[in-house]
């Protein structure tokens, strides 16, 4: 595959990442479960591997594909993965991909991303391959028309008043792809300008009550092709892909365990994963916060979950967790999988999103909201604050986006952002919200209790010899993220010492500042935190509000399993204007 095409595929994936949460918000077909953006993003992440050999890339696409949309998209792009692919072969690649995508779906429907693949095939067949203007003009215009048509093609989309999330996701991908191929990384017309009337659910729309499970599985089977041809018998919304002796399946089923057993009887079950659609649909049915006067944007490194973001109308910028060959946005990593891998000794690290992806996220926020307040993870931990300030200087001449260096991470940042998000959701003025944010990042405190030092050593943050002797002597450091870095406050020997240390610090803070709002963070020890620690702290701190929260995976990837923490903020808020 030619280098310029590889780079353009990566650019398309990055643009998709910036808009994935919007796709989740309008995902009503085939079921209203709000996961199309997540599934497309995760499924197409392998396309960013610029140095991967073509066979490895095909295998990564197969194994990464999730959900209805992700599996169809991955199958489409498997038709592109040829060593000879260059500009002149894009039309043939689109034709191959289109055929594979339609064949993979047991009951294909027009008005979905399949229609967008049809439009791409037709548009590229009519466009001179060497002319950038033909790709950026007629081709993208044809794809835009295909996305618009989805709203009138499918009754569920017409009732919801939105375009198909999967088709829109593929438009966003190809918008980034073709602009990168033409050397115009900044992109063209914003998505919000092209599809403004199809990006918000109709008032009063309520999706149907969903039940059952969304299953993704991989089988190794002698007759993978034959099984793929009969896969429609296994469930609903079936997508089946036969490749290299493997069968990749996506389907919806009412009985997860019966489906697992049936698949295991058809071949060697290499992978089986499922999501409870009723849980996802319930989350989707809960309305997101109404548009505030200022949109609060923050880094996911601040122990803020996707559910928090939806409830308060926050924007989240992910860092990436590097787990084996995979690089996944941190809020889309299953924490049980991450911590299990760390306990097995697998190498785990983190990285920032690319500059382009971060710029696209800022651009999207300003495209959707009149005012934005970006509360960054502390600049001592990442370069996000400087990156945002530099971008704002060039791309935001009106000063609609304010950028605040929180000097913090994990729970300190999370509490400050959640508190600020509440003020924004309540309709406070942009000036008042920013004033509160500055107060909150100054007043928030946090203690992190590590269980083993070896995980810090694995990430290069502590000498391996020191970690070995520290674990041998059962040393458990207590650290706090501060504006000048992670500060070690104490070294303890046992979990009971940790609990006593946390309790004493919280009691002292409550005596000084009154009732506290306390986040109790967990890694792979949720049962212990919720079953033992929380009741103990609630009994010791009457009048305080305590709630459990997963520790950000950016932090957890370095501190390791067994870590827990407490972060707190005075309940009394600074008066607003």
Residue 465 has pLDDT above 50, yes or no: no
Strand ranges across the sheet with 326-329: 326-329, 320-323, 348-351
Task: Answer yes or no: is pLDDT of 468 > 70.
Answer: no
pLDDT confidence of residue 281: 59
Kindly tell me if the per-residue pLDDT of 463 is higher than 50.
Answer: no
Q: How confident is the model at residue 134 (pLDDT cuts 50, 70, 90)?
A: low
Residue, of 132 and 207, whose pLDDT is higher: 132
Confidence bin at 464 (pLDDT 50/70/90): very low
d(C-alpha 136, C-alpha 174), whole Å:
10
Residues 140-152 have pLDDT tens digits of 999 999 999 999 9
Bond before 151 cis per omega within 30 degrees: no
Which of the four pLDDT bands, split at 50, 70 and 90, describes residue 243? Answer: confident
The average pLDDT across 359-385 equals 92
> What sign does the CA torsion over 114, 120, 125, 126 have?
positive
CB-based contacts of 252: which residues, under 8 Å, 6+ apart? 31, 212, 213, 214, 215, 235, 236, 237, 277
Nearest residue to 97 (alpha-carbon basis) of 134, 159, 44, 31:
44
State residue 172's pLDDT score.
Answer: 95
Contacts of 557 (CB under 8 A, 6+ apart): 321, 330, 338, 342, 348, 349, 350, 459
pLDDT score at 471: 47
Fill in the DSSP letter of residue 82.
-
Helices 36-44 & 165-181 angle (0-180, nearest 10): 40
User: Averaged over 456-475, what is the pLDDT?
Assistant: 46
pLDDT score at 577: 41
Beta-strand runs (E) in 452-509: 476-482, 485-492
For residue range 331-349, list pLDDT tens digits in order.
999 899 999 999 998 889 8
Residue that wins the pLDDT comparison between 287 and 41? 41
Tell me: the pLDDT tens digits for 152-167? 998 888 888 899 999 9
pLDDT value, residue 142: 94
Strand partners, 276: 213
Residue 474 is predicted with a pLDDT of 60
pLDDT at 147: 95
Determine the 3-state secondary structure of 220 from DSSP: strand
CB distance 59 to 244 below 8 Å:
yes
pLDDT of the residue at 86: 87
**Residue 126: exposure state from Cβ atoms within 10 A (0-12, 13-18, ≥19):** exposed
- Of 511, 516, 508, 518, the closest CA to residue 564 belongs to 518
Sorted by where each starts, the structural domains of the chain and their CATH numbers stand as 3-198 (1.25.40.340), 213-280 (3.30.70), 284-443 (3.40.50.10170), 445-570 (3.30.1180.10)
Residue 47 has pLDDT above 50, yes or no: yes
Q: So what's the pLDDT on residue 476?
A: 82
Question: 246-253 and 268-276: which strand pairing?
Answer: unpaired
pLDDT at 222 over 80: yes
Using alpha carbons only, how large is the chain's radius of gyration in Å? 24
Find the mean pLDDT for residues 233-247: 88
> What pLDDT is recorded for position 273?
87
pLDDT at 50 over 90: no
| Res. 191 pLDDT band, cuts 50 70 90 | confident
Supply the pLDDT for residue 472. Answer: 39
The rounded percent of the chain whose pLDDT value lies above 70 is 90
Q: Read off the pLDDT band of 460 (50, 70, 90).
A: very low
H helices, E strands: number in the chain:
26, 17
Is 41 a residue whose pLDDT tops 90? yes
pLDDT of residue 573: 56
pLDDT at 467: 37
Phi, psi of 506 (to 5 degrees): -65, -40
Kindly give, in sequence order, each residue whose CB lies less than 8 Å from that of residue 253, ignoring residues fewer than 6 positions away.
Answer: 212, 213, 215, 234, 235, 236, 259
Three-state SS annotation for 3-67 = HHHHHHHHHHHHHHHHHHHHHHHCCCCCCCCCCHHHHHHHHHHHHHCCCCCHHHHHHHHHHHCCH
Q: What do you get for the CA distance between the two ends of the chain, in Å?
A: 58
The answer on pLDDT for 288 being more than 80 is no
pLDDT the model gives residue 455: 65
Q: Cα separation of 28 and 45, whole Å? A: 23
φ/ψ region of 243 (left if φ > 0, alpha if ψ in -120 to 50, else beta) reads: beta
Q: Average pLDDT in the 101-123 region? A: 93
Mean per-residue pLDDT of the chain: 87
Per-residue pLDDT averaged across 235-254, rounded? 89
Q: How far apart are CA 276 and CA 278, in angstroms?
A: 6
pLDDT of res. 129 = 60
């Amino acid at each position: 595959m030619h280098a310029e095409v590889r780079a353009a595929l990566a650019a398309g994936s990055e643009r998709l990442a910036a808009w994935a949460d919007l796709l989740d918000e309008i995902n009503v077909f085939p079921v209203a479960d709000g996961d199309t953006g997540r599934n497309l993003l995760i499924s197409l992440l392998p396309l960013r591997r610029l140095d991967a050999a073509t066979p490895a890339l095909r295998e990564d696409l197969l194994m990464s594909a999730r959900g209805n949309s992700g599996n169809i998209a991955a199958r489409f792009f498997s038709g592109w993965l040829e060593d000879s692919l260059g500009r002149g072969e894009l039309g043939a690649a689109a034709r191959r991909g289109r055929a594979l995508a339609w064949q993979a779906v047991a009951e294909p429907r027009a008005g979905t991303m399949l229609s967008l693949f049809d439009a791409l095939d037709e548009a590229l067949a009519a466009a001179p391959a060497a002319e950038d203007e033909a790709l950026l003009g007629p081709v993208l215009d044809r794809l835009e028309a295909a996305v618009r048509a989805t709203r009138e093609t499918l009754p569920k989309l017409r009732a919801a008043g939105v375009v198909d999330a999967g088709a829109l996701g593929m438009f966003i991908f190809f918008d980034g792809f073709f602009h990168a191929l033409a050397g115009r990384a900044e992109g063209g017309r914003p998505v919000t300008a092209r599809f403004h009337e199809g990006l918000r659910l109709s008032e009063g729309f309520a999706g149907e009550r969903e039940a059952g499970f969304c299953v993704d599985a991989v089988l190794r089977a002698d007759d993978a092709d034959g099984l793929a041809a009969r896969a429609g018998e296994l469930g609903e919304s079936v997508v089946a892909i036969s490749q290299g002796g493997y069968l990749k399946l996506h389907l919806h089923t009412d009985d997860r365990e019966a489906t697992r057993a049936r698949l295991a009887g058809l071949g060697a079950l290499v992978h089986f994963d499922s999501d409870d659609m009723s849980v996802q649909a319930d989350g989707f049915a809960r309305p997101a916060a109404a548009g505030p006067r200022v949109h609060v944007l923050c880094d996911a490194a601040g122990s803020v979950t996707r559910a928090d973001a939806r409830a308060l109308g926050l924007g989240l910028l992910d860092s990436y967790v590097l787990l084996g060959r995979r690089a996944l946005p941190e809020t889309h990593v299953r924490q049980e999988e991450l911590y299990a891998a760390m306990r097995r000794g697998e190498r785990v690290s983190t990285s920032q999103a690319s500059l382009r992806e971060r710029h696209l996220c800022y651009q999207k926020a300003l495209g959707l909201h009149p005012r934005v307040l970006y509360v960054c993870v502390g600049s001592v931990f990442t370069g996000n604050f400087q990156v945002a300030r530099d971008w704002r200087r060039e791309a935001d001449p009106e000063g609609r986006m304010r950028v605040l260096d929180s000097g913090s991470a994990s729970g300190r940042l999370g509490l400050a952002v959640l508190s600020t998000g509440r003020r924004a959701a309540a309709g406070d003025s942009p000036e008042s919200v920013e004033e509160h944010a500055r107060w909150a990042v100054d007043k928030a405190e946090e203690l992190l209790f590590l269980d083993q030092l070896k995980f810090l050593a694995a990430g290069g943050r502590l000498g391996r010899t020191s970690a070995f002797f520290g674990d041998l002597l059962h040393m458990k450091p207590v650290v706090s993220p501060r504006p000048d870095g992670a500060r070690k406050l104490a070294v303890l020997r046992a979990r009971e010492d940790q609990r006593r240390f946390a309790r004493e610090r919280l009691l002292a803070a409550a005596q000084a500042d009154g009732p506290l709002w306390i986040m109790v963070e967990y890694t792979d020890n949720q049962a212990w935190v919720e079953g033992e620690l929380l009741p103990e702290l609630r009994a010791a701190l009457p009048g305080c509000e305590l709630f459990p929260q997963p520790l950000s995976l950016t932090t957890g990837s370095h501190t390791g399993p067994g870590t827990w923490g407490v972060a707190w903020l005075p309940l009394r808020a600074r008066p607003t204007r």
